[in-house]
């Protein structure tokens, strides 16, 4: 039986806007087990970005309970949350978020520096991660010397370098053409086949279809089901 690594119970998130309160998440119940490949599918304004921020410990819910690897997230201070983000979550963004004056290798090393991994070991691990994503020949290249697909692969190598509990991908193919996006999704399949847990946030039905499980979010509520049921 798969190990539960994420559990949300009646998660609500509201924001005060002047004299009114906007309820963005309206009672989210979600469980994710180790090794799952989950897509959170929803249009703009559905609440998926807010949900992603809470999953990634970038924000905390207004009410409800969120457990990640058995730890109740609301009970943690910012220092502990930063530690959880660095150890538990590998972030992959639509716009890559690479440091433009750093090489591919140096970009992949960055989270390992924050994790206090010794220089020799982090260099070895960063090289290994670039090889894993098919960029062993691009270690010295700067981001502007690489294609969009190559930059996203560097970002994926960076995300997996610390061996996080969850890969959290926000519109990972949004800045890529269809063919390049397909190659990135193939890499996601390979990583998932190796046992990595992936949660992917997307508005694209075709991208969501690559996941093994789909949760649809609309107006702050979620429902389970295949894409063809949408």
Task: Give the span between the Cα atoms of 93 and 119, in whole angstroms.
Answer: 26
CA distance to 12, 75, 79, 127, per residue, from 64 (Å)? 6, 12, 21, 41
> What residues contact residue 164 under an 8 Å CB cut-off, 6+ apart?
87, 88, 89, 90
CA distance to 117, 122, 174, 227, per residue, from 126 (Å)? 11, 6, 25, 36
**Which DSSP state fits 39?**
E
Q: State the DSSP string of 155-203.
A: HHHHHHTT--SEEEEESTTTTS-HHHHHHHHHHHHHHHHTT-EEEEEES
Task: Specify the DSSP element, H or E, that contains 112.
Answer: helix 104-114
Low-confidence ranges of the chain (pLDDT < 50): 229-230
Question: Which pair of tokens denotes residue 224?
Answer: 């389970």
Strands 197-202 and 213-218: unpaired
Task: Give the span between the Cα atoms of 157 and 137, in whole angstroms.
Answer: 14
Q: State the DSSP string of 15-30.
A: EEETTEEEEEEEEEEE
CA distance to 3, 26, 34, 76, 98, per residue, from 38 (Å)? 15, 20, 11, 26, 25
pLDDT at 131: 95
In the chain, the largest separation of any two C-alpha atoms, in whole Å, equals: 56
Rg for the chain, CA atoms, rounded? 18
> What residues contact residue 197 under an 8 Å CB cut-off, 6+ apart?
5, 32, 33, 34, 35, 36, 37, 165, 166, 167
> What residues contact residue 215 under an 8 Å CB cut-off, 6+ apart?
30, 38, 39, 40, 41, 222, 223, 224
- The mean pLDDT value of the chain amounts to 93
pLDDT at 114: 86
pLDDT at 152: 94
């Amino acid at each position: 039986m798969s190990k539960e690594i994420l559990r949300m119970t009646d998660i609500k998130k509201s924001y005060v806007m002047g004299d009114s309160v906007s309820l963005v998440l309206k009672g989210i119940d979600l469980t994710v087990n180790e090794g799952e490949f989950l897509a959170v599918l929803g249009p703009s304004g559905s609440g998926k970005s807010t949900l992603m921020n809470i999953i990634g410990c970038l924000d905390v819910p207004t009410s409800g309970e969120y457990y990640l690897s058995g730890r109740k997230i609301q009970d943690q201070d910012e220092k502990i949350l930063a530690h959880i983000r660095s150890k538990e979550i590998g972030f992959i963004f639509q716009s890559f978020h690479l440091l433009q004056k750093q090489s591919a290798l140096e970009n992949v090393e960055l989270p390992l520096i924050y994790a206090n991994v010794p220089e020799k070991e982090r260099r070895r691990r960063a090289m290994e991660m670039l090889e894993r994503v098919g960029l062993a020949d691009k270690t010295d290249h700067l981001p502007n010397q690489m294609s969009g697909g190559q930059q996203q692969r560097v970002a994926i190598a960076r995300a997996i370098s610390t061996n996080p509990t969850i890969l959290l991908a926000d519109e990972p193919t949004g800045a890529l053409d269809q063919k390049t996006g397909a190659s990135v999704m193939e890499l996601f399949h390979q990583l998932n086949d190796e046992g990595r847990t992936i949660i992917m946030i997307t508005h694209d039905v075709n991208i969501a279809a690559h996941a093994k499980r789909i949760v649809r979010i609309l107006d702050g509520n979620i429902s389970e089901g295949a894409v063809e049921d949408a």
